Structure 1
């Protein structure tokens, strides 16, 4: 851990040197995508230059998923994958918990909002929506872009609407939120979940199946500068949160050249494991006891999912999920 000017005020959490060289035998795609460093800039230019002529999910999202070659994002991260453990029937609607938040939720965006890893072929008949802060829908151009990608507001009316229509809709919620993003540093598995139960209540009200997911490598693709709670910067972060509804954080990854710093994620393994759906009854006004029951079942399912796959994706046998 390297300290900056004042070790009582600011610190930057660095990744261990071993994480720069993941085991290629765990990620078969690494053997075929040897052009990843050369195509990094191309992939980001393709992404940033995509033009949307319409705003509806059915038209522009399809264009962005299939015509604008988002599969080139895989050339940026040769180990970008989505791993299915169970089929998702198009006869149901699903509320998916996305863990961890990471800095930019890069893995969930690539896997659920693009065809970079072939979501439509892995889960045929399922229409994914990734929920984000309503504040982003107030910004011109950004609003149009994320709407075209199938991103929706994390507000309860929006999620309720999607889960009451269909079937075949899947709504992904990054349960830990921006508070978890501020704790996103390499080699951590701490999730803000124990007190976050609203998504379970919505799922019960609409009878949607809960789907646990965990993205291995999400916290490793960026480095973040952390501030002490007594520092002025941290206090400004808190003020910013109260004013705008979300935190800002200072982070960096790699640049366009191999040894430079920038805003591109480090080319490390990012594997999103989609767990088995947890069927829920439809209860219009669920009691708190009922919410607590299925929230506990969800946490147990998430722990089981993590434990079953952790050693294949860079975690030790003794590493556990920590719920706060």
Structure 2
């Protein structure tokens, strides 16, 4: 397990600031921002490539002297069209890039192993909760920042993501480099059919809709009627592994959007049209804590539970799916209850399912 990293600061400077008068509060915040998450390691905020910028770049190059770049890429894109649905194309130097370790230390993020996973089998992993940006799932399963390969030798994680993003030029290659695959049945089946085992199909079960309920202190999971991943596991005889990421919902505040409100109805409608949710979130800024789009520096502990044995059935009945789904919920609850007090969740808080 990768250990937690505790922020420590330049004590002398803090002592000076303690007696600095009117600027005391602001300067304390400024120097705390500059404090490394690990002694001697400065924070380097990673710059994420947006799909929108990639589209603009691809089209824009056609109108410059570098138009040939887009032409050659378009040719490559067509030849490589099916790669995402055939297990993807991870690039280990990207997964091991130092920028992900900086990002890990910013929160920090820790991957916790509670049981051995047989590398000769393929697994379906349910990740909860989705949160606003699925930061824990990304760092733990799409990079080596938290030491996944050391904790689970012989296993290769494949995290599923909305198929739409794999149709975006340049951006698709960035996603593939981390081991992500499209969230469709053909892509999932390809991973789970691989001979010899050693594959983990990671699914953020609550999806984009659950992100609309992601806010500090929330433990509501969109799972009651999400049974497709259970049926998928049964069709391939792949054990189910529940994963709960403590702290995932603590990274951002969100504008109140209770069900039935005009905002929630608008978000739901946009999700139906575009396939993605648009939570109105905010947290901190670069040089102040009051408001901004940077996530709060709060620890994330992603706890991987023990596998649930699944009997292979090519065409399971709804009753069989419901029974296994209930077993999965029970195991997820046990995982949450066994670890919640370690990670600052009050004893009287429990998971809620909708």
TM-score bin (small chain): 0.7 to 0.9
CA RMSD of aligned residues (A): 2.5
Q: CA deviation at 1:207?
A: 0.6
Q: Alpha carbons of 1:32 and 1:92: their partners in 2 closer, same or farther (altered >3 Å)?
A: farther
For the residue of structure 2 that corresponds to 1:268, the secondary structure is coil
1:233 Cα shift? Answer: 3.8
**Equivalent in 120, 130, 136 of residue 159 of structure 2:** 130
3-state SS of 2:6 partner: helix
Report the counterpart of residue 287 of structure 2 in structure 1: 257
SS at match of 1:226: coil
State the partner residue of 2:326. Answer: 296
Tell me by how many angstroms 1:194 deviates.
1.1
2:6 to 17, 30, 50: 30
Residues paired across the two proteins, number: 292
Equivalents in 2 of 1:141, 1:28: separation in Å? 34
**Distance in 1 separating the partners of 2:42 and 2:344:** 25
How does 1:201-212 map onto structure 2 within 5 Å?
201-212=231-242
Q: Given the alignment, which residue of 176, 179, 187 partners 1:147?
A: 176
Give 3-state SS (helix, strand or coil) of 2:308's partner.
coil
The within-5 A match list for 1:52-201 is 60-78=90-108, 80-166=109-195, 167-201=197-231
Return the structure number with greater relative CO, CA threshold 8 A, min gap 6: 1
C-alpha contact (below 8 Å) 2:159/2:201 kept by paired residues: yes
Name which of 44, 47, 61 aligns with 2:46. Answer: 44
Aligned-partner SS, 1:261: coil
SS of the residue 1:44 aligns to:
coil
Cα distance in structure 1, aligned partners of 2:156 and 2:263:
40
- Any idea what SS the aligned residue of 1:39 has? coil
Deviation by residue 1:99-132 (Cα, 9 ceiling, x = unmatched)? 0011011111111111111111011111001111
Instruction: Tell me the TM-score normalized by structure 1.
Output: 0.83
Structure with greater proportional strand content: 1
Structure 1 stretches lacking a partner, 5+ long: 1-26
What does the per-residue CA deviation read over 1:158-181, in whole Å, with 9 as the maximum and x for residues that have no partner? 111110114111011111111111
Distance 1:316 1:39 in 2: 33
Aligned counterparts of 1:28 and 1:77: Cα–Cα separation in 2: 10
Q: Highest CA radius of gyration, 1 or 2?
A: 2
